[in-house]
Structure 1
Amino acid sequence: MGKPTVYMWPKWSPHNKYSELLTRSIEQNGLQVEHYDREAMFKPRRGDIVHLHWPSNSYTSSVFALTIAKSLFFALLLLYFRCRGARLFWTVHNVWPHTGKTRWDRLMRKYILTVCHEAFVLSETVKGEVAATFGVPASKLVVTPHGHYVDAYASKGTDIRKRFGISPESFLFLFIGRINPYKGVDQLVEAFSSLKLESCDLLIAGHVDSGYSLDFIDRVNDGTIRIYPQFVDDHELADFLEAANVIVLPYKQISTSGSAILALSHKKPVVAPRLGALGEYVSDGCGVLYDPDDPDGLRKALQASMNMDVKETEMHIAAKLRELDWGRIAGKMIQVYTGTKRYEVNA
């Protein structure tokens, strides 16, 4: 039998380069990858791979009756693949959807884990959480780290500091990403403003969720907090990151953070709570982790990050990025896909 075809669900996404970068590495390791969509719905054959990433959109709707219908169709479709001899895998990017957890999510996600041959998780921490939450054996969960974003986003050369009136000499903290109650921007603003540091600024950039107000910033802003409440386009993402000294991700809940890996990919240290997989990605020397239960933890972490040695930090980050090499990750996935070790890792 020839090599299997991998049906990546999805092969690319306008909001996340993970699938695209993974696909490229799997193809470089010798397997053909196709985008899974409606046109490819019944193409997977015996021995082929169907690899899911973010399945909640496939079983949920804003109307509960449609959620039931979509869930039933989705469940039967996965069974159809199994009966046809395809192998099913799911990368559990988040234990729960970003929209929150429901009993229906618990039911469907447990079902997906049951029907899949194996599932990939992005850290040991998430592996333990998934096994405990959904009652699946840990042996069914394979840890494959989230790969890096080195060279994934090209710089446009925009001077972000000049755009926002930030001095080249100022120490700049940056929060970048979607802004909602779970991201902890309110705690970041409170911690930063309480420090009252000279020659220090904070830039908050990202799309603000509907109904979430940033009025709390106006009450404490002395001019050192800049706000860019818009989605940061891919062509300027690198420029925002390059402008910063430290990336701050004060999340209140998280499984795995692509934003942390994105920061490290641009050689920027990360300040973040010791939650989910952050402790495994932001390892010693790559940033400052704080206890999320310590009311003064974020404030102390911001201060500590300003004293990090730049060259030493970059050495630690470079070592971490070698661990997050896509070639190694794809090679391990192919071994799991096929149940063999026939494929060499091009790393």
Structure 2
Amino acid sequence: MKKIYIYPPDNSENQYINIQKKAIEIAGVCIAHSLREFLSTDFFLLNWFETLGKNKISEFFKKLLKLSLIKLFKKKIFWVVHNKKPHIKSKKDNSAKLSLIIMKILLFFSDKIIILSDETKQVLMNIYPKTSFLEKKIYKIPHPNYIEAYPSCKIINKELPRGNLQLLYIGHINQYKNVDLLIDIINPLKDKPIELLIAGNCTDPAYRSQLLKSVKNEKIKCLFNFIPDNEICNLLSQNDVVVLPYDIESSLNSGTIFLAFSNKKTVISPLIGTLKEYESHDFFYSYEYNSPEDHKDKLTEEILHVLNDYLTDPSLLEQKGEEAFLIVKEKNSIEVIASLYNKLFNMFV
């Protein structure tokens, strides 16, 4: 049986890696649990490999060494492209150039480049504009849904008490997530029936303090903790819409959008690659922007659009969430993902 090593071997922030492992096992390939199995491993599947941690220089050279060894021993490399470029977690982060070097090396070293959405093709063209070269390497495996991926995620139609529109931001909180922008938008809407819950871990004490100080509306609540898996679905069920003001400079795909859809919730988000995958845009709220100022204006318009829909027909948001659920249940199931991985592995038998 063929064996694959997945990087990173686990991810505490979401279930993507676990679902990926399950799909690969269904596809008939064994998971290598340690680099001690290097010699017996056939494939290396790399997620977010271009992202560098705190010790950027040393980690950069370690990753170059790992890639060189994988190629030296003639192992197959599959690179999963998640973002346009690694997210810059703070304004002091200067690792972008090093990460771009790794992305360029991965582009050449990879035997297949796995894309989650079609927009990724243009991102890769921006790195290396040779269409024929890329077409041979690109292989599309969409992002899996998160249906039943989290504890107590039995999908139920929970009736929310009718009153204020409940907006939810959920996920890790870094500067590129634009949570400060979201607070700035909701602050002056004190006379509107809108509540915002910001839920997620914020590991930057300075940014956390900045966000808390910026809250001027009592209908904005901040829950700056790591959200345990067994609380995620309940949190989603208690809110109407998930709002995700992504930075389009780096954001390309969104697991949180799939998390929302998998729990029958619609979203407000820039029109990133994940949302462009769908022919119909009727089951979510999206917008495009050209500058930080434009982003604020467009997101404000979309939030007020959602509020108008909510006040006009409260069931409309639930209908959109139901449609989103049915779509990702069909198009992004683990069976679909496993079948595509099976075809990928058969190319190298």
Q: Offset at 1:117? A: 0.8
Checking the alignment, whether the CA contact within 8 Å between 2:253 and 2:273 is kept in structure 1 is: yes
Q: Offset at 1:204? A: 0.7
TM-score (norm 2): 0.82
Aligned to 2:228: 233
Aligned to 2:46: 52
Checking the alignment, whether the CA contact within 8 Å between 2:241 and 2:317 is kept in structure 1 is: no
Question: What one-letter code is carried by the residue in structure 2 that aligns with 1:204?
Answer: I
Aligned to 2:36: 39
Moved more, 130-139 or 169-178: 130-139
Alpha carbons of structure 1 residues 214 and 188: separation in structure 2 relative to 1, 3 Å: farther
Checking the alignment, whether the CA contact within 8 Å between 1:13 and 1:19 is kept in structure 2 is: yes
Aligned to 2:71: 79
The aligned runs of 1:271-286 (5 Å cut-off) are: 271-280=268-277, 284-286=281-283
Checking the alignment, whether the CA contact within 8 Å between 1:78 and 1:115 is kept in structure 2 is: no
Q: Offset at 1:197? A: 4.4
CA RMSD of aligned residues (A): 2.8
Question: What one-letter code is carried by the residue in structure 1 that aligns with 2:134?
Answer: A
Q: 2:184 aligns with which of 190, 197, 204?
A: 190
CA-to-partner distance for each residue in 1:92-124, whole Å, 9 max, x for gaps? 122322346532222222112211111101101
TM-score (norm 1): 0.83
Question: What one-letter code is carried by the residue in structure 1 that aligns with 2:317?
Answer: V
Q: 2: CA distance between counterparts of 1:256 and 1:305? A: 23
Q: 1:171 aligns with which of 165, 169, 174?
A: 165
Checking the alignment, whether the CA contact within 8 Å between 1:126 and 1:277 is kept in structure 2 is: no
Question: What one-letter code is carried by the residue in structure 1 that aligns with 2:22?
Answer: R
1:330 correspondence with 2:325: no
Checking the alignment, whether the CA contact within 8 Å between 1:282 and 1:289 is kept in structure 2 is: no
Q: Offset at 1:219? A: 4.8
Q: Offset at 1:237? A: 1.1
Aligned to 2:134: 138
Q: Offset at 1:183? A: 0.9
Checking the alignment, whether the CA contact within 8 Å between 1:252 and 1:292 is kept in structure 2 is: no
Question: What one-letter code is carried by the residue in structure 1 that aligns with 2:303?
Answer: L
Moved more, 190-199 or 247-256: 190-199
Gap regions ≥5 residues in structure 1:
158-165, 343-347
Checking the alignment, whether the CA contact within 8 Å between 2:270 and 2:287 is kept in structure 1 is: yes
Q: How many residues are aligned here? A: 322
Q: 2: CA distance between counterparts of 1:156 and 1:144? A: 24
Alpha carbons of structure 1 residues 209 and 167: separation in structure 2 relative to 1, 3 Å: farther
Q: Which has the higher contact order (CA 8 A, sep 6+)?
A: 2
Aligned to 1:181: 175
1:290 correspondence with 2:267: no
Q: 2: CA distance between counterparts of 1:176 and 1:252? A: 15
CA-to-partner distance for each residue in 1:214-262, whole Å, 9 max, x for gaps? 5455455231111111111112111111111000001123121111111
Helix, strand or coil at the partner of 1:124: coil
Q: 2: CA distance between counterparts of 1:115 and 1:259? A: 30
Aligned to 1:248: 243
Q: 1: CA distance between counterparts of 2:203 and 2:9? A: 26
Aligned to 2:258: 261
Alpha carbons of structure 1 residues 311 and 67: separation in structure 2 relative to 1, 3 Å: closer
Question: What one-letter code is carried by the residue in structure 2 that aligns with 1:130?
Answer: L
Gap regions ≥5 residues in structure 2:
155-159, 311-315
Checking the alignment, whether the CA contact within 8 Å between 1:11 and 1:34 is kept in structure 2 is: no
Alpha carbons of structure 1 residues 174 and 281: separation in structure 2 relative to 1, 3 Å: farther
Helix, strand or coil at the partner of 2:67: helix
Helix, strand or coil at the partner of 2:40: coil
Q: State the identity as a percent.
A: 26
Moved over 6 A (4+): none
The aligned runs of 1:186-225 (5 Å cut-off) are: 186-210=180-204, 211-215=206-210, 218-219=213-214, 221-225=216-220
Alpha carbons of structure 1 residues 61 and 73: separation in structure 2 relative to 1, 3 Å: farther
Aligned to 1:345: none
Q: 1:105 aligns with which of 99, 104, 110?
A: 99
